[in-house]
Chain A
């Protein structure tokens, strides 16, 4: 669907460079350690899947990389930015410009139609409404849901909602796309579509970090799988993609 577009790759960035670097990251909730000394590096163009049982710290790790939460200790560097050093406003600007996020339950704004949900990310940056809508329409077209642009989220299917969410995440051309159980709330057919979409994106150079329970998703989309248990990285393996 979207082969041949190199504009998702950040200029000046090679595949050897680390987009993400976590060093001895620890996150405590009271007496419980959600992450316990995690080290992780993700290079540009990689698609990394983080897997593990419930409560192993997958979502906490994703929240650290997305600057949604702060580590208790250790450093999280994304695209050269030490997230621990950023104040709230700069963390928001970081999220706005450097990353895109896709959630299990889509998190679309229910009182905006699909087109305006996608355009919103660009409008927050100050892009004029007409220009933002034009780019949003382009993305919806590329993801195959342009004909649903005026439909409100409540009337979209799960797969359509997730495609709209992916379009929104790509709106500001992020260096890193984060996906938290992106197929977790979808039926198998919609899940397949989303997997294809993520694979296509990675193949054109989009760096991916996917948190999932779904072994099929990891096998299909990831170039590397990181397994977590009790807040620690227990295993890492590189995959040959099945598709």
Chain B
């Protein structure tokens, strides 16, 4: 065994606390780095990963089966530019009734004998694929709330009953349900579905070229519709884009904090070991051997901790990201890219090694005598003047001594303050994003305005429209009831149908971003996305076409809402196109303290033809986002606190003799703790003061980026979520993080045996 290895192993054994601190910080930093890098990797496209994994279709073409023969369709699979194809599959749009109490849904049902076709491999995440007639597989995201389960029966078409064999998800969005091909005959399919992948499909022009190639030679009108994957991707980007900014912010914060803390720990460890280096040199170790001893001593715990941290980081990233983003796309579990694992496994030890190398260059240059006498707190500079001024203040002496301590090691204090700064900034961003996202989601879902929704069941309400509304108002706990109904209309000039919801009440609880609520007949309010997608402005007029004829409407307001209900209007406007139509939804605001489930049960009892349910459950993505933000903020805070712990350990070691002296002249253990905690609280307070503005800036950036990606407008009051008391608390959070990190080593310093400490010379 070489002398270097023996000396390094002995040094590791003797410095158990320092070795533990290096191990914990490197381990946690590795976790943070893996999660941070994985977040960045994930943000680059769960949709794309899912699309590649499932061989998603670049083009879904719907053909008229009377005009496009099977042979002609089979021929399209060999056209230039087509890299893979699946189909033809019989396709029909039929009514599907999931449960007797639910109204039927119009669904696109496709006949497929297997899920793993060359294009659009379906992700069967529950149950199994259909084996023959009498079975159905329903399309749903794994995170969706299901109203049915495997083994239930549903009614399709003209009353045929089939059993749910499983649930699957198509990333291509190719159908809402699948049955065996033999089942399709009974559903009277009028169309055939073809699924294509092209060699080039990154632009609209390339998709159009592919579409032209596969339809070449087909009779006119054979192609009834086509769906480009780029359209799906654009919508997916909106969802992903909402989360990318905060993933990036937290990923970057995590990396920088980890680097700062590792640099602080390692440089401190080397400085604290200068005396040891001097002794080694005195024993005859060459400068290079000394360097080797030190690098080995630091790298031993580093490598072990990096391996452990990388494994834990992988587990954490897979757990968080799979549930938050990937399963909802049907991509299955998220796999941490190999480069992330390799970067953490190799990068962290290299970073630590470089820091140790840089720090020990000084030790390499020092003579044995200089090295032995070094390694204690500096005895010159601004720190001395500050201590002198502080000793004349009215502060308790333990406090004033503590405030002066960080000035003795300004570089170390700056690194510690920077780690606390980023920790506080992380917590600030987390709280700000959570508050802003919650405020937006609450406003979008009108959580304050609607606690219970009642809709007519399949067989229809037993009471009249007015009687139902009166009944809902009369039930105990109802504060406000708003009735509305929806019509599917077509905006002249647009391909997609437009859903228009008409409200009977002036105050439906929507947040107005601009203009006012529609008051007169012919007035509408729209979402920002609808207005921008259609290049419309407040005051503009457009025409809607429905069963009751054409209806010219004018935009008088812009409301905060997602894409579910792009056009809102009033009962007077409904009277122009569908007079006499009854409400299909009643939104109930409950008085504070009213139990929503009790109220809903009372509604169902009063009119069995109505189905009432509470609206309180937050979306799974929202929950995942909140838990991710909280987890990352906690990790950042913990690593920052560990950085502080390390600094206090180093300071206490350097000032061992001073601590012994102070205790010998009567400093109590409590005063020692107060002094050491104050020293770091001062650093933490400085970090908090700087960290809060940094956090606010990043919160603004992230929210603006989210708004831009989602094509929404977020009102200023949802960005200004930091109240004065909260800002004060966040600033104090810096001191709190530092105090928590400082407490344990301070207690250890307070328990120092004076006789031993004073023997240290």
Contacts and interface: CB of A to CB of B under 8 A. Distances in A.
Interface of A: 59, 63, 66, 68-69, 88-89, 92-93, 95-97, 101, 103, 105, 107-113, 116, 119-121, 123-126, 128-130, 133, 152, 154, 168-169, 172
Contact of B664 (A95, A111, A129): A95
Contact of A96 (B384, B388, B658, B665): B665
Interface in B715-761: 750-751, 753-755, 758, 761
Most chain B beta carbons < 10 A, residue from A89, A97, A109, A168: A109
A41 B391 CA distance: 39
B660 interface: yes
A92 B408 contact: no
Contact of B391 (A92, A101, A116, A172): A116
Interface of B: 377, 379, 383-384, 387-388, 391-394, 396-398, 404, 408, 657-658, 660-671, 750-751, 753-755, 758, 761
A66 B668 CA distance: 14
Contact of A152 (B379, B393, B662): B379
29 contacts: A63-B755, A68-B758, A69-B755, A88-B668, A88-B669, A88-B751, A89-B669, A92-B668, A92-B669, A93-B666, A95-B663, A103-B758, A105-B761, A107-B660, A107-B661, A107-B664, A107-B758, A109-B661, A111-B377, A111-B387, A116-B387, A116-B391, A120-B397, A121-B666, A124-B397, A124-B398, A129-B393, A129-B394, A133-B392
Given A124-B671, A152-B379, A95 B666 contact: yes
B408 A101 contact: no
Nearest to A94: B666
B669 to A, nearest CB: 5
Nearest to B377: A111
A63 B408 CA distance: 30
Contacts of A116: 387-388, 391
Nearest to B657: A107
A120 B665 contact: yes
B657 A96 contact: no
The list of the 9 closest CB pairs from A to B, nearest first, reads A96-B666, A123-B397, A92-B668, A107-B661, A68-B754, A116-B391, A63-B755, A95-B666, A110-B379
B669 A123 contact: no
Contacts of A126: 396
A145 B697 CA distance: 56
A133 B657 CA distance: 24
A111 B384 contact: yes
Given A66-B664, A113-B388, 15 more contacts: A68-B664, A69-B753, A88-B669, A92-B663, A95-B663, A95-B665, A105-B761, A108-B661, A120-B391, A124-B398, A124-B666, A124-B671, A129-B391, A152-B379, A168-B665
Contacts of A119: 391
A124 B665 contact: yes
A174 B388 CA distance: 26
A85 B398 CA distance: 26
Nearest to B661: A107
B396 A112 contact: no
Contacts of A172: 666
A129 B750 CA distance: 24
Given A107-B758, A123-B397, A152 B384 contact: yes
Contacts of B662: 109, 120, 124
A112 B663 CA distance: 16
B12 to A, nearest CB: 24
Contacts of B394: 128-129
Contacts of A128: 394
A93 B665 CA distance: 9
B389 to A, nearest CB: 10
Nearest to B668: A92
A6 B665 CA distance: 23
Nearest to B404: A111
Contact of B668 (A93, A105, A108, A168): A93
A169 B664 CA distance: 10
Nearest to A109: B658
B344 to A, nearest CB: 41
A36 B670 CA distance: 33
B388 A112 contact: yes
Nearest to B666: A96
A116 B384 CA distance: 11
Contacts of A109: 658, 661-662
B665 A121 contact: yes
Contacts of B398: 124
A126 B664 CA distance: 17
A202 to B, nearest CB: 21
Contacts of B393: 129
Nearest to B753: A69
